[in-house]
Structure 1
Amino acid sequence: MEHDVPRRSRVPRLKTAVPALAPNLVTRERLSAVLDRAPSAGVVWVCAPAGTGKTTLLTQWCGGRAGATPVWVSLDADDNDEPRFWSALLQAVETGVPSVRERPVSVPAHPSEDPEFLATIAEALGSVAGGAVLVLDDVHELTNQATLHGLAGVLRGLPRTARVVLSGRAVPGAPLTRKGLGVSVTEVSAEQLRFTAGEAAHLLAEAQPDAPPGTLPELMRRTEGWAAGLRHAALELRAHAGDGRDMAAPAAVRALPAAGHIADEVLSAMGERDRQLVAALSVCDEVSPELAAALSGRPDTEARLAALERGSVVARRQVPGGTRYRLRAPFREHARAVLYRRDPERAARLAGVAAEWYAAGAEPAAALAHACASRQSGTIRAVLRRCAIPAVLAGEHDLVRRALAALPAETAAGDGLLALVAAFVRVEAGEAELAELDLVRADALVRYRAGTETDTLRRLVGARIRRITGQPDDGGDNGDAARVVPSSPLEAMVQLHRADLLLCRDRPGEAGELADSALRAARAGRADYVVARCLTTLSGVAALRGDFRSMTELASNAAAADAEGPWEAGTAAAEAHLLLGYGALLRAELRCCLQHVDEVLRLLDRHRTGAHGTRLVATTLRGAAESERGERTRGLHRVCSARDAADTGRAPGIAVLLCGFLEHRLALDLHRPDVAVRARERCHEVAPGSGEIAVMRAREQLASGRHGPAARVLRPALTERLPMALPWSTVCAALADAEIQQLAGRSREAERALVRAMEHAQSQNVLYPLVVAPPLIGDVLETGLGRFGACEPLARRVAAARRGLPQLAPLTLTERERAVLGLLPTALSLEEIADDLTVSLNTVKTHTRAIYLKLGVTKRADAVGVARAHGLLDDVHLTVAG
């Protein structure tokens, strides 16, 4: 075909030039590899919505293909004019193929129907050394069927050296289909174009090299890997990098303006009905096909969802029982913002529809969230009455609180069930006083019928209030009623309360049976909050049984559930951390113990309440850990202060015994027999027949150097005539026996007793008594290393742990020397000290010289300093004196 004068439409040169790349772009090798693998003489479709990085990808790919010649045309709606389209294509070919420029080609009158003209273009693309790559960008703009048919003719006639890439927002229709072209087609989808976490990390590093942890996950959550959203956020981060604002923090990322104009461009390209569907779906994070139909009121909703999924505006996932759809995060945020701004009445109405749908489908959390979003008091009240109890049992406490707060005061005040629900939420947060007020209001409005859910809830709330406030409660001793298999999470909660009461009464066997039964019912009902509470109770059961490995595992699972759950961590979570702190102390992991008990005290302080004994045990554990880390004075003072502040009459006996047992040893280590005796007496009040009392009496005798009497008082504990209430006390009894045998000069028996202690410790995973044992036991341990057989690994762990603890040499002062030492920090002269103690001046001087000699000092001020370092001088006497 010859043309004397080229006949063409005028085309801007930028239209046929490969676009310039912006700086700091991420090279996406995985996508370039997909393009490279596409067969020759084939077609690649890159189909995805606006802002997904199609043009950038192809620009980078063209620039990175050594030897290949790019032939690029950026299309627009004007290219539906045939002469203009073919003129642009010819200009692009001439730009990349010099030989074509030498023989100018005109556009015939009907180019799409001229086989010779189409063949000329195909041949020109095949004549390039190294091959040509024809890229038609924004091909979705082509709607002229004649042009599409002509383009299909070119593609079918391409030689094997040429490649074609069609890029646009939708897959080209007929005749550019696989069947219509009859050539190999490779597709790069919108899903493939999404940035991976690694690619997004590269982009973030370019924008903000020192971004703190959490920034990348937040960016990915907000954009779902959408290129435009990520690049927009990166530009914002880079723009604010030097203005002193921490724009890379996750909270700041959430505050970044979204790439709304790009999302709007994508949504605006849809038809009106699809835009309305997207607006309706935006009120929900995720929908089933049925809910989507209810929101849109359209019978063809599922088909349209499939179309939107192909356009990557909607994502789909399979769940048990069906399919769920969701708008991608950038589009959902934009569409939701536009809906609530332009048509708030429709938004509220749609939220109400969703609330009723979720309530009917037994999805209480979603129902309550959408009821609150509807701002319709009638909907909120109806959903609360239907969903509040299962929502609380699932841990959605904050949602229930929000829904209750959203009701008009007169509506909430006149509904007894809602008052009862409010009491339930408050008591689970430890707000006993407010819960009692709500319960009084509920009792005035509700007529309880035995066996109903309302009656069960009423009994549970009342029992929980009594436990928190320390009132008498016999709910754990209901005989056969306590062993009824719960049929619902609410009944499981009631049974769990009974288990807790039995646990406080040192009946772990019965408590464990009830808690196991409650756990099965809670899991069957998918009540995550009740499951977490059951795990905490079972952890306490394991503690009383001496299974400290299981105790730690169960408490860890409960604490993890509390951290991940939607409920606010409260006093129940504090109990899980208390058990973890207890386990850490028993393993001699002192830093870990301090971390957990600090979390316990933080939670109790925030809620200003907690079961009696929880604060006492937590503070005692903290004092014990501090003491073993070298802060002996502070540790014992903390323990004594906690004991004085606690209402030990309302605390569980086992908690009082544990705290007294720890205090007793700390007091003896600090040469405070008076404090130790008082601690033993308190333990005797709650556990008079326990082996721990014998161990404490033996320790007191040993502290006075009387190993004979110590052996006599210890014997009933060693022969198990006196049972141990604290399982790990068996280790302490064996250690006391080892000390007695060593003091009596029976080294071999002392070593055997130490082996018994290590056997008990090994079976229970307990190191603490061994690590803090007296120096005499440490000597037996060190000299026996290598002879402990199966206990050798444990012995070496204990020896290493002992070497890592600060060791203070034991100092023994007489009672009169302690009295004089206690007055040395004052401004009193020796004469005034003598008058105060009603002794002679010479007696005071004699005691003072003895004190200096024992402390290795020559000055009064030095004596005070050394005494404090050894824990011999502190404010403990002020605590016990009162």
Structure 2
Amino acid sequence: MIESRSGLASCHPPLSARPPLRLSERLRRDTPLSIIRAPHGFGKSALVAEWVRSADATGSTSVLVPPPPVGVGPEGFWRLTAERLAAAGALAEAPGDDAAAYPAIRDELTRSGRPVGLALSRLDRVCDPVLEEQVVELVDLCDRLRVVVTVVGRSAFGDPFALDPTHDLLCGDDLLLQRDELGEFFAIDGALVDPDELDLVHRLTGGMWSLVEVARAVSSRLPASADRRSLLEARLAEAVSDHVRTTILAAPDVVAHREFLVATATAHTVSIETACFLDVGADADRHLAALEAAGVADRRDNASGPQWQVPAAVRRELRAMQSEDGMDPAARSTRLALHLRERTDHAAAVRCAVEAENWPLTVELVEEHWVGLVGAELDLLRHVLLTLPESVFDANPGFREARDLVASLDGYRGPDGAVVPDPEDLRLLVSADDVGKAVGIVSHQALMLRLAGRYESAADLTRQICLVVREIMEARPDDLSDLLPFLRMQWGLTYQLAGDLSESTATLRLAYLSGSARHLDYIARNAAGNSALNWALTGESERVSEWLDLERAHPPADEAIEPLIRIGGLTASALTALDRLDIASAEAALAQLDELPVIAELWPFVVYARCRHAVTTGDPFRALATLDVFADKRKRVEGEFVRSLLTAAEIESHLAAGNGSRAYLLAERTNCDTPWSVVAVARTHLITGNHQSAINTCRRYDWLGTPYTRSHLEALVIETAAQHGLGRVDRANQLWRRACELADRTGIRAAFAGVSRELVVALGDVAAAGRSETVAGYLAAEVAEQYPATLHRPELTDRERAVLGGLADGLSAPAIAHALFVSLSTVKSQRTSLYRKLGAHSRREALAVAREFGLLPSKDDRNGGRLEREACW
């Protein structure tokens, strides 16, 4: 039995292993309500029990409420909860029979203000939506209460979009143990498990908690013999099969759906449509709902509608049962693969073809859709290449090269595991029998690093490859001449994403020349478009135009790869049009990039262009939404150049949106080592009134040593405004003249929209440099100013200030509503708006940011200010 600090015993046995740290830390966040939704056997109870332990250690009163009886109502559930709270000392006493349990819990926890951690198990067993509303209300009312809820299926807390932004949801996929976490799981027995055994365990269990426990028990009983791995595989497969059949599929609420489960096991995910195709569509919705409620099937919603999935180990056993029932699993998988191909679900079709061991169909599908598979299903593609038999590679040499590439990545575990070869190994390429193949494989390793977002590592490897290729070309030029244009194109892209634009531009020029000479239009067109993008990033519009003309001189590529090839040129066109404030042309280019291919490696530059367009057109919140869409990709990036570019875009988007606090906090954490970061941080200082810091920041970059024309021009305009703000008119005029000269040479108008129009007019009147055509063009364009002239702190409405004051007083949302004579929903709405303006996600963050910007009254003034806040309503 598990005992909390209060001595309360839970219904769960002691844990033999603890959940992984990533899950424990996620629950330990300062989150008012966390919901854990997953099927049975995923470790929900273990995770909650660990959270209860950690809450005890922090001095909080932690209470674990066991699953209620099936069908109990809200009142019965709250009585059970009240008994547990009273036993733990969180309530003075349980309410009597004549008193409703929930109001008693709510009122006492609201009054006491003591920290309480409350774990509510299996709320889906309570068949009443009122309970969900009461849990949310309880969390809102009790600021020091933290609640963790476990559910199976969607009958409780079923709509993730209805959750408050401060609440958290963990799903089944979140709870699956990752391969690297299995070592810690097995270490509780003091055993050091071989990495190959961990791979085997992960494959047979899928990381499902209950099956990993089975695997640990099997492993602990095996001797350390030479045949240990083969024994482990055989005995673990038998143990997993036995557990699935006797524990999961034999459950009373699952047995009635056995026929449906076996028939639909052909599909990885089951929809109503798939069930109909597999001839078990009658009552499919009833079967799926029942299996979800029974904790066997997990529902996933996507654009095509709801789908259900059973754990991988369960599905594997169900497919074995197909054979036992006289079905032909391979024939069924082939039939479904052909159906899925017709429905353009290519990844699912490939999975079915591989399971059917229908290798001709597998090869056909991969050849037709490899571009999409590389971008969206790289792990699936790797699995296919490592599964195909040798006879397939004999008939398809290109597949063998791809397989050898994957196999050569020692320790490869998805794209993030790509490794850099040893330099000494690269030297062996010079003497390789098949130089082209050897160089191609190593170059593909650089590609894998690039796909993983490791741009700088990819660039380092590419530089080593270039040195070796140069040596090969001197000794054996004919061996690489056909491959060289393609290699140079890839090298140029790698340097571009790593931020080495000079090396990228030089390499892309060679790729263009060699591609043109060999009539490889797709390479020449790609190299020209990406060269234009390099010049657009620096702000040299004439060079952009030259390269775009060269791009247009070559016909579009095949429709399968043209969407990839054109990204560089279209992004360059958009950026250059934005420089000129030609909004219509920029929008025409960006419209063609609305739907990016799944493998679009130039996505950072497209995002940057979209953000610039949104800010230029006065819609900075669209820029922030764009950054949010690509948040996962940004997290994966390990290249400082791309990080800096997008962080700068985020800072300037927040400034344009009036979110001075968020922009300031980002700027404080940003290294001023790229032209974009220098401009963004300097602009933040200028707009928030710190003119001298803006001047100092503008001078932190070597603008002449590494010229970036647009950023240099923006820095000149920002420093001019800062000098003018400090009353240094002569210095401001000198800088203004330099800015006008640079603008007239390049035609960049957009830089002047970064400061107030009044300042541009004033400087134009007093500067002794004559009339600037570019400045005149900017003033005639009537484009709105992109940023507020000043943004010393977030601009709050009177109502938001009143809510902020209540939060600072430690009041709950209902208490604030009561004090201000408004509804609770009104306070919640104003609180959400307040958090957004402050860039905060919790009360603690909001108060910290507000204090930093002087938005809170002093403690002495707080009580006196409360009546004033009430008058605001």
> So what's the TM-score if we normalise by structure 1?
0.42
Pick the structure with greater CA Rg: 1
